Homo-oligomer: A and B are copies of this chain.
Amino acid sequence: MTRPRFSTLRRGALALGASLLLAGAAWAQEKVIFQVSDADPAKWNLTFNNINNVQKDLGADKVQIEVVAYGPGIGMLKLDSSVANRVADAMGKGVQVVACENTLTAQKLTRADMLSNISYVPAGVVELMRKQQQGWAYIRP
């Protein structure tokens, strides 16, 4: 009589243990999101220096990197950006580069004004919140 219950309980314990391990692994994986909210090309360059160092230190395939530009930082992703080459280079190395659509609307910009191949999120600040809640580290250069 007790054997089936035992194995049910044991299966439950194993499932719980496995979930905890998976959650732990997902948390431990290297993930970092960079906030660019200053209209300062020196900050944009610092961000890409940071990204290069992260990829050099951890291996570009071992770490997920995202850059969110919003507010006064949106200029980093406009067609006339002084760091357009660095944006393209980072994307070529697997970095996710996203612009905030709220900022585009506020500054009367359209996607035609922006660098090609970048991604978009409805609200940059919500993206930064969500990623932190999913265990991403946050860096504000």
Hey, which bits of chain A sit against chain B, CB under 8 A? 2-3, 5-6, 9-10, 12-13, 16-17, 20, 27-28, 30, 32, 35, 37, 42, 46, 49-50, 53-54, 56-58, 71-72, 102, 106, 122-126, 128-130, 132-133, 135, 137-141
Contacts and interface: CB of A to CB of B under 8 A. Distances in A.
A59 to B, nearest CB: 11
Given A50-B71, A57-B122, A58-B126, A13 B6 contact: no
Contacts of A56: 123
A40 B13 CA distance: 54
26 contacts: A2-B3, A2-B6, A6-B6, A12-B13, A16-B17, A16-B20, A30-B129, A30-B133, A32-B125, A32-B129, A37-B46, A42-B72, A46-B72, A49-B106, A53-B102, A53-B126, A57-B123, A71-B141, A128-B139, A129-B137, A129-B139, A132-B137, A132-B138, A133-B135, A137-B138, A138-B138
The secondary structure that dominates the A interface is helix
B129 A54 contact: yes
